[in-house]
Amino acid sequence: MLVTVKRQKDPQSEPYLQSFFVEASPQMTVSALLDKLNYTDDLYDVKGQAAPRIRWECSCLQKLCGACAMRINGLPRLACATFLRDLDPRELLLEPLSKFPVVADLIVDRSIIEKNLLRARAYQGSYRPIDATDYPRLYSMAKCLKCGLCLEICPNYSKGEDFFGALFANEMYLLSHQSQDRRKELKKAYDRNFGAGCSKALSCVSICPMKLDTLSSMARMNRFSPEK
């Protein structure tokens, strides 16, 4: 398989494309293929030139941490959960997520996600009793990996602005069982940092690796009354 990687030495360097031939099988994931490339004694590109190891992030390799998010053949996906059998068998293009600053090769700085949640004070305050029928839904929302795929695919999200994207809507729903003052504050944050900027393209729903029901979070938050 011909694998092309968008490379960048450090945040200040110019990006460039570099291609490699790899012996791959359809059962491999993209992360396994990257490991195979990096574990060869010496890495050479298709022109026979020595190449530095490809830098990318991973932790769990089980679709649990979100670290391996990248663009795979033009679509944001998790490398450890993307199998070659589901992709074009002839060639593969790997690029870093485009909406976050590149650190090196396929590694990006996604700290803006946490900064935005802190900006909106999206963390637990004092809880009031939760209706037990809501547990399954809250559990499902808590599975968000904060991987950034929903931000990458969203036509309305661009870094540094006041629209925080789908993961924020889910987080707001997750936090909606709180004291009345906090509920008012969360509803304002939802309206300001999500409701006002969402154009309902809903690309976030189809790309989410955890299949979070963002549409339902949006509907519930749109009719959410802090007084009740």
Contacts with ligand FES by CB under 6 A lie at 58-61, 63-68, 78, 80
* Calpha distance 52→42 (Å, rounded): 9
Q: Angle 196-204-117 (CA atoms, 0-180°, nearest 5)?
A: 60
Which residues are within 8 A (CB) of 137 and not within 5 positions of it... i.e. 6 or more apart? Answer: 213, 216
Compare residues 35 and 134 and give the one whose CB is closer to ligand FES: 35
Query: Which 3 state secondary structure label does DSSP give 156?
Result: coil
Residue 65: CB minimum distance to ligand FES, A: 3
Q: Beta-carbon neighbour count of residue 88 at 10 Å?
A: 10
Write down the least CB distance from residue 85 to ligand FES, Å: 18
The nearer residue to ligand FES, 68 or 208, going by C-beta atoms, is 68
For ligand FES, give the closer residue by CB, 78 or 84. Answer: 78
**170 vs 176, beta carbon nearer ligand FES:** 170
Minimum CB separation from ligand FES for residue 27, in Å?
17
CB of 81 to ligand FES, least distance (A): 6
